Amino acid sequence: MFNKTNETKVLRDPVHGYIHVKYQVIWDCINAKEFQRLHRIHQLGGDFQIYHTAEHSRFSHSLGVYEITRRMCEEVDAISATLSEYEKIQVLCAALLHDLGHGPFSHFFETLHKKHHEQMTCDLILDPETEIHQALIKEDESLPQNIVLILTHKHSKPLMYQMISSQLDADRMDYLLRDAYETGTSYGNFDLERILRTLRVKNDSLCVKLSGMHSVEDYIMARYHMYWQVYLHPDAKSYEIMIQQFFKRYSKIRNIDVFEPLMNGSLSNKEFYLMDEHRMFYGFQEALNSEDVILKDFANRILNRHLFEWIEDPTKQQIMEIKKKLEQQDFNLDYYYYEVVSHSKAYLPYTENDENQIIWMLNSKNELISLSSSSQIVKALLKMKNQTNKCIYFPKEII
Amino acid sequence: MFNKTNETKVLRDPVHGYIHVKYQVIWDCINAKEFQRLHRIHQLGGDFQIYHTAEHSRFSHSLGVYEITRRMCEEVDAISATLSEYEKIQVLCAALLHDLGHGPFSHFFETLHKKHHEQMTCDLILDPETEIHQALIKEDESLPQNIVLILTHKHSKPLMYQMISSQLDADRMDYLLRDAYETGTSYGNFDLERILRTLRVKNDSLCVKLSGMHSVEDYIMARYHMYWQVYLHPDAKSYEIMIQQFFKRYSKIRNIDVFEPLMNGSLSNKEFYLMDEHRMFYGFQEALNSEDVILKDFANRILNRHLFEWIEDPTKQQIMEIKKKLEQQDFNLDYYYYEVVSHSKAYLPYTENDENQIIWMLNSKNELISLSSSSQIVKALLKMKNQTNKCIYFPKEII
Amino acid sequence: MFNKTNETKVLRDPVHGYIHVKYQVIWDCINAKEFQRLHRIHQLGGDFQIYHTAEHSRFSHSLGVYEITRRMCEEVDAISATLSEYEKIQVLCAALLHDLGHGPFSHFFETLHKKHHEQMTCDLILDPETEIHQALIKEDESLPQNIVLILTHKHSKPLMYQMISSQLDADRMDYLLRDAYETGTSYGNFDLERILRTLRVKNDSLCVKLSGMHSVEDYIMARYHMYWQVYLHPDAKSYEIMIQQFFKRYSKIRNIDVFEPLMNGSLSNKEFYLMDEHRMFYGFQEALNSEDVILKDFANRILNRHLFEWIEDPTKQQIMEIKKKLEQQDFNLDYYYYEVVSHSKAYLPYTENDENQIIWMLNSKNELISLSSSSQIVKALLKMKNQTNKCIYFPKEII
Amino acid sequence: MFNKTNETKVLRDPVHGYIHVKYQVIWDCINAKEFQRLHRIHQLGGDFQIYHTAEHSRFSHSLGVYEITRRMCEEVDAISATLSEYEKIQVLCAALLHDLGHGPFSHFFETLHKKHHEQMTCDLILDPETEIHQALIKEDESLPQNIVLILTHKHSKPLMYQMISSQLDADRMDYLLRDAYETGTSYGNFDLERILRTLRVKNDSLCVKLSGMHSVEDYIMARYHMYWQVYLHPDAKSYEIMIQQFFKRYSKIRNIDVFEPLMNGSLSNKEFYLMDEHRMFYGFQEALNSEDVILKDFANRILNRHLFEWIEDPTKQQIMEIKKKLEQQDFNLDYYYYEVVSHSKAYLPYTENDENQIIWMLNSKNELISLSSSSQIVKALLKMKNQTNKCIYFPKEII
């Protein structure tokens, strides 16, 4: 009924062995230009500046999320039995396309672009002009709308969005494994096979058999470690600050063509398609010729990894000294001094504040209980005290 | 005597565990802008179009070659005893910098640029204006010249260039392991530990103890498999043809600023520094707006992976039919039909035609014998018959 | 129709991730005492004396062969479509049970026992007294007989025995991967996933699509390397000689109860069940108390790894010297000097001498062609010249 | 000064790549019969009944502990500088030999043998009759005594016993990695490289630089997971109970020669040498012929994996029913019903109750602080509530 490819197509993938594609609509989406564009957006933004092999793109990650979702659909009996073939196709498409709206240097880009990447993803899927939209409607007219319902958590079957966006979802599972593989750290590893084997559905919700509890604990710890060792690394933050300060300055100068569309608020879908990292870096190269010393300096810092140095939890004395040195050496503090305050609680790998964000376990009496009430480790984690950390950033040259 | 970093610096690397840096000059070279640029050149050109995770850069590979060379210097007793500390620093720098002169889409780039990447590497090292040059002379005035002697195989101690450029060298060993890791294929794996353990020096030449013969055979087979499964994959060739045909057309049009320096023959070192993949891809994006239909089409093919289809060893009949269809559908055969003839012999992973290209084994009587005379497998390989293969490429749409 | 376990049972396995069991008869066979006995037989005999972690048993390997066969039945479309469910169960049982008749120190044991392990396996399956037999007939009366037809290559569907016993079979594929994993060598690795993906059935025979040729070449090379690096290691041979000489002596003394049944030619099935490595080693311990100096010495050599030294391709001079020293030190040459002559041709990882032993490839015209006519590497291998090697073994103490 | 082997000897090991031996005394210890005996004692007792590939021996583990200790001595600057060459040899020997006194089915064996394995290890090292003792004094007369000082935590340099026996020691680090590798679970993995890189010595004590905190947290979690998933698995306990009940019965019967020495309390060192798993299993085989039905039954359960079933946290009702069924079916409750009460607190992977059992971290001010005061995760762990669990065991047949 639904169009299949001639034979199952396979794409070699170091994390999953192979990505398996048997629906024509999935194959067509992969070949759509908006999806191909994801090859031109790093998965981890500037983290390749810290972990030099973290050079993988959102293209690979998107295929990985699709593959885990496919295995959920085919190998988890409870899911396979709950969803119709059409619903499976919807959720597979949603998995594949969930990151379509990401710009370069992801979260920073959103502040410039003033549109969340989730919204952008939906816009691209719904726009009749995009190749993605055309690939989808070739299979079914209502597919774009249904995918958007999943991506916006409005679908009538919560299971369908839980599979790709919840506390235990294909998205996080792929990126932890993939980022660990690509950075060469072991921290992100957990037992995907066992989690898949213990997934169940109860009251239309995704849950995990109690015998899979240790795998889930391990997954939570993988998140914890990846946050602290990779995603929140101060040098990664430092690189992000370089880009942020560059555009803070640029907004006063406005002399580089490729950046201009970004300055006008919202991009059209066509402009967005072009706005990849190649274009951004070409822009930074152009800025090397700028007459503005500050803009030129930040372009050089971005291109050649002259990151700001940082001090965690500085004393007042230290802050004063740093500022003094900056002034003595004629650094403009608006650009060359930066403070970040973070709350450890905010980076907890898991919380149960919100009903929708609980990982549910299925106990031997076939009842749903929260992860924290079955795992002593997780319960302990939730009681962690909040800590507020300040970190200051400044040019290395002054010391 | 030579400047050391405060403590050994380590960079996490999935292939080698860690990259270890203890000399200041190595650290300074890594931070020079010409080296940082290597982050913007894919190691495998367009192979990420076939193996979607092959997104790693020459930056990582260069660090890997350095690390294997470092282990040779420190862990192989015969090398450690043969080379002075200064010679070790020379060869470490040469290992790190050997790919500095690579442009985007490597081999094709050379045809446009009319300068081999080896020559470009030497030019950058010798140019007093480059940060690399400055980093090197901060340690020692004669370092740039000595590194060039190694890279051009003119150094008086052949061992020094054999370590990084011979049939069994740090360069190949790193790229086989790394490309296998990043593509997710197992073909490139071999036992690096055992090869390092059995390396010896005899008559100033690198050689391998006979007990390491099976590891060397395995390494030769890894090369063989990577050639056929990855490096010579017809889809990779197809992507290369897209770029080639783009510039064949572009040479008649000349309307995109970022490509112009390339058209004038040789680039200055400064222009070369800017000529990375970001700039090239920005140029392809610009070509999407071209009024020339052919140029625009090839830009689209490059950006969105609309590769040519191919037929291996086509019959005359097939060739005629393809050409006829192309003409019927108004495709210009100068751009839309492409033949490649290759000789299997040319892709042998190992030959002994040239005295300098032999892998030498050290037998139990402490004599040097050629690999082929100790390994029956390799001897058999060398007797492989030559085969000539033709492969034709054309747009998928016509079938 | 066929009895299933409550839910699919899974056994964690480092080589395959998990072993999956859904048929009750498989589960019952695993729990039969003749199968549990395989935990008490090392997979690699005395190779743990050379690769100290090669301590795995035929139990694990048998599960592995079963698992690869299960994947062939379920994942290879051509096989899945060709075989009925009952035929699949037959071949799964045959895969699981194929090594049931192995004694300790495998091949040597056969010389004492005067019965090939293949014959012993069939005897145990057909004996109504064994738990294995009872487990099988609980599912189906004719199952034992059908399994024996497969194991003896007499089944009317050759595909069924090709899956577990041919040049490209589940048996070899598991032991190469497993022995590589357990010894910690990389040599035995090859791309199982890709081979499974390219398996086809043509004219009732197992074959491989031409696009899988490189995986098959890699598998052949894995066999080659494992032969030379692990299975034929002279120290492994030395350990085997210790056991052989022990029994050569023991046959003249006959004073240890646990060995006596072995001396009477054929063991009953009940005696065979008890004849595991524990019993053999208990016997060697007993021999430590023997009054016969030679028997006691070999027991000590076996228990405490005092292996014979060896010289490959000794000169006549060397042989004379060794013999002279042995005589001077009163070693009995009947026991303390041993020659092995081997022919390299005999250890080729692959030959095509015998029609039944060819690996068939399926070309693009859907014709079967031999591996050697599609692979230049393999063709070259088959032309390897025969070499005859002599190796002499003797006590280390004399030098 | 100290005797070296001709060249560094290497033993291939899947966990560490290679085990490196350069001191003759280490090589001689490995070849001593008391060390070779460790090949005949499973590292994980009966866990191969649950994880079928967990068939590795204490021999491999002992080499692994040695190798980690060797790396500490050579690669951790602070240790390398603190210890003399002679002290390094002492600690290397202690690492290699620390498990010498283990009997089969380790902890149960101690209850029969009435001697702790630690004491037995020391006895063997000090006994002038053992080959181990002789190997040691060939290097240095006082070596046995010094090794015992380390093993009994009485050495004047605490660092020396902390390296092999503390909360963060070579022993635990090897067994977590090795048991994870051999069972095929990922739980035991942690980043050994990074821990080694961040080890320091302060006030004569082993500690870890604060930048290694996440690696230490990961290691603690690896311990936690391995406890619950492998070491404390109820099926493993069930197998242990089979052996315990066998001997409870045997103590009333006393008819099997090989077990008799065990019944007389303490074994001589010579008897101990013979008491390996081969002998035990031979004894269980002998018991299959016993006229005592209970003894025979337990022998069969042990040999053929007829484990007791178990219920965790049974209700009173369930206990009563089980007991009733056992009585109805004439099972002797003294042997066929077994209760285990365990306290979760007792299985915490890490506590700081005891001053000596704290993992010390070195903060940026060069002060020692406890792990729990630097790691919020660990602090949370220590606050875990105690839970008391009951588990009952009984024959599966009754249900």
How close is the nearest chain C Cα to the Cα of A42, in Å?
Answer: 29
Q: What does A82-139 look like in DSSP terms, one character per residue?
A: HS-HHHHHHHHHHHHHTTTT--TTHHHHHHHHTS-HHHHHHHHHH-TTSHHHHHHHHH
Q: Where in chain B is the domain with CATH 1.20.1250.30?
A: 235-304
Per-residue pLDDT, averaged over A164-174, amounts to: 96
Is the CB of C17 less than 8 angstroms away from the CB of A197?
A: no
> Choosing among C278, C281, C289, C309, which should be mutated to test the D contact, i.e. which has the most D CBs within 10 A?
C278
Q: How confident is the model at residue C130 (pLDDT cuts 50, 70, 90)?
A: very high
Distance, CA of C40 to CA of C99 (rounded, Å): 13
The helix (run of H) or strand (run of E) holding residue C311 is strand C308-312
> Choosing among A53, A130, A175, A235, which should be mutated to test the B contact, i.e. which has the most B CBs within 10 A?
A53
The predicted pLDDT at position B187 comes to 83
Assigned CATH for A233-306: 1.20.1250.30
Tokens read off for A257: 């063509």
The predicted pLDDT at position B346 comes to 63
Q: Is the ipTM of this complex over 0.90?
A: yes
Give the 3-state secondary structure of residue C308: strand
Per-residue pLDDT, averaged over B23-47, amounts to: 96
Per-residue pLDDT, averaged over B90-114, amounts to: 91
A347 vs B387, higher pLDDT = B387
What phi, psi does D62 have (nearest 5°)? -60, -40
Is the CB of D376 less than 8 angstroms away from the CB of A344?
A: yes
| Whether the predicted pLDDT of C67 surpasses 90 | yes
How close is the nearest chain D Cα to the Cα of B17, in Å?
Answer: 8
| Whether the predicted pLDDT of D131 surpasses 70 | yes
User: CATH fold of B235-304, please?
Assistant: Growth Hormone; Chain: A; (1.20.1250)
Residue B218 contacts C where some CB pair is shorter than 8 Å: yes
Per-residue pLDDT, averaged over B208-217, amounts to: 94
A33 vs D108, higher pLDDT = A33
Residue type, B250: Y
Q: How confident is the model at residue D347 (pLDDT cuts 50, 70, 90)?
A: low
Instruction: Encode pLDDT of C184-199 as tens digits.
Output: 988 888 999 999 999 9
| Whether the predicted pLDDT of C205 surpasses 70 | yes
CA atoms within 13 A on the CB side of B391: 19
Q: What does B227-271 look like in DSSP terms, one character per residue?
A: IIIIIT-HHHHHHHHHHHHHHHHHTTT---GGGHHHHTSSPPHHH
Task: Write the CB contacts of C84 (distance below 8 Å, at least 6 apart in sequence).
Answer: none
Distance, CA of C37 to CA of C276 (rounded, Å): 7
The predicted pLDDT at position D258 comes to 94
Per-residue pLDDT, averaged over D116-120, amounts to: 93
Q: Could you tell me if C31 and D305 are in contact, meaning their C-beta atoms sit under 8 angstroms apart?
A: yes
The predicted pLDDT at position A228 comes to 85
User: CATH fold of A4-232+349-383, please?
Assistant: Hypothetical protein af1432 (1.10.3210)
Residue D193 contacts B where some CB pair is shorter than 8 Å: yes
Distance, CA of D152 to CA of D154 (rounded, Å): 5
Residue D53 contacts C where some CB pair is shorter than 8 Å: yes
The helix (run of H) or strand (run of E) holding residue D338 is strand D338-343
Which CATH number, 3.40.50.150, 1.10.3210.10, 3.90.1650.10, 1.10.287.3240, labels domain D4-216?
Answer: 1.10.3210.10
C51: which chain D residues are within 8 Å (Cβ-Cβ)? 12
Q: Where in chain B is the domain with CATH 1.10.3210.10?
A: 4-206
Per-residue pLDDT, averaged over A42-51, amounts to: 93
Q: Which residues of C133-168 are buried (b: 16+ CB within 10 A; e: fewer)?
A: bebbeebbeebbebbbbbbeeebebbbbbbbbbbbb
> Choosing among B9, B53, B62, which should be mutated to test the A contact, i.e. which has the most A CBs within 10 A?
B53
A135 by Cβ neighbours in 10 Å (0-12 / 13-18 / 19+) ranks as buried
The predicted pLDDT at position B376 comes to 81
How close is the nearest chain D Cα to the Cα of C188, in Å?
Answer: 13
Give the 3-state secondary structure of residue C390: strand
Q: Could you tell me if C151 and C161 are in contact, meaning their C-beta atoms sit under 8 angstroms apart?
A: yes
Q: How confident is the model at residue B35 (pLDDT cuts 50, 70, 90)?
A: very high
Q: Please name the member of C228, C344, C380 whose beta carbon is closest to the beta carbon of B214.
A: C228
The predicted pLDDT at position B114 comes to 82
Which CATH number, 1.10.3210.10, 1.10.3720.10, 3.40.50.720, 3.10.450.350, labels domain B4-206?
Answer: 1.10.3210.10
Q: How confident is the model at residue B388 (pLDDT cuts 50, 70, 90)?
A: confident
Alpha-carbon Rg for chain A, nearest whole angstrom, is: 23
Which CATH number, 1.25.10.10, 3.40.640.10, 3.40.50.460, 1.10.3210.10, labels domain C4-223?
Answer: 1.10.3210.10
> Choosing among A173, A213, A225, which should be mutated to test the D contact, i.e. which has the most D CBs within 10 A?
A225
How close is the nearest chain A Cα to the Cα of D386, in Å?
Answer: 10
% of residues, chain D, pLDDT over 90: 81
Instruction: Encode pLDDT of D284-325 as tens digits.
Output: 999 999 999 999 999 999 999 999 999 999 999 999 999 999
Instruction: Encode pLDDT of D139-173 as tens digits.
Output: 999 999 999 999 999 999 999 999 999 999 999 99
Q: How confident is the model at residue B357 (pLDDT cuts 50, 70, 90)?
A: confident
Tokens read off for A85: 């073939």
Q: How confident is the model at residue A93 (pLDDT cuts 50, 70, 90)?
A: very high
Instruction: Encode pLDDT of B308-321 as tens digits.
Output: 999 999 999 999 99
Q: Where in chain D is the domain with CATH 1.10.3210.10?
A: 4-216
Q: Which of B182-191, C316-325, D127-136, D329-338 has the lowest mean pLDDT?
A: B182-191
Q: How confident is the model at residue B110 (pLDDT cuts 50, 70, 90)?
A: confident
Is the CB of B52 less than 8 angstroms away from the CB of A60?
A: yes
Instruction: Encode pLDDT of C296-348 as tens digits.
Output: 999 999 999 999 999 999 999 999 999 999 999 999 999 999 999 988 766 67
Per-residue pLDDT, averaged over D349-359, amounts to: 84
Distance, CA of A194 to CA of C139 (rounded, Å): 30
| Whether the predicted pLDDT of B349 surpasses 80 | no
Q: Please name the member of D10, D17, D193 whose beta carbon is closest to the beta carbon of B18.
A: D193
Q: Where in chain D is the domain with CATH 1.20.1250.30?
A: 233-303
Long-range contacts for B369-373 (Cβ within 8 Å, ≥24 apart)? B371/B213, B371/B216, B371/B220
Work out the mean pLDDT of chain B and round it to a whole number: 94
The predicted pLDDT at position A350 comes to 85
Q: How confident is the model at residue B19 (pLDDT cuts 50, 70, 90)?
A: very high
Q: How confident is the model at residue D61 (pLDDT cuts 50, 70, 90)?
A: very high
Residue D11 contacts B where some CB pair is shorter than 8 Å: no
Is the CB of B13 less than 8 angstroms away from the CB of A53?
A: yes
| Whether the predicted pLDDT of B322 surpasses 90 | yes
Is the CB of D305 less than 8 angstroms away from the CB of C31?
A: yes
Instruction: Encode pLDDT of D335-345 as tens digits.
Output: 999 999 988 76
Separation of CA A94 from chain center: 15
Alpha-carbon Rg for chain D, nearest whole angstrom, is: 23
Q: Please name the member of A17, A18, A193 whose beta carbon is closest to the beta carbon of C18.
A: A193
Is the CB of B224 less than 8 angstroms away from the CB of C380?
A: no
The predicted pLDDT at position B115 comes to 87
B33: which chain A residues are within 8 Å (Cβ-Cβ)? 300, 303-304
Residue B14 contacts A where some CB pair is shorter than 8 Å: yes
Distance, CA of C34 to CA of D383 (rounded, Å): 49
Distance, CA of B75 to CA of A23 (rounded, Å): 52
Task: Write the CB contacts of D290 (distance below 8 Å, at least 6 apart in sequence).
Answer: D253, D255, D256, D296, D299
The predicted pLDDT at position C347 comes to 67
How close is the nearest chain C Cα to the Cα of B23, in Å?
Answer: 33
Q: What share of chain A is helix, strand, coil (3-state, %, to 5)?
A: 60, 15, 30
Distance, CA of B309 to CA of B325 (rounded, Å): 14
Q: Which of A354-358, B209-213, D218-222 has the lowest mean pLDDT?
A: A354-358
| Whether the predicted pLDDT of B63 surpasses 90 | yes
Q: Where in chain C is the domain with CATH 1.10.3210.10?
A: 4-223
Indicate the class that CATH gives domain D233-303: mainly alpha
Instruction: Encode pLDDT of B224-249 as tens digits.
Output: 889 888 998 999 999 999 999 999 99
The predicted pLDDT at position A347 comes to 67
Q: How confident is the model at residue A160 (pLDDT cuts 50, 70, 90)?
A: very high
Q: How confident is the model at residue D188 (pLDDT cuts 50, 70, 90)?
A: confident
Q: Please name the member of D15, D48, D57 whose beta carbon is closest to the beta carbon of C39.
A: D48
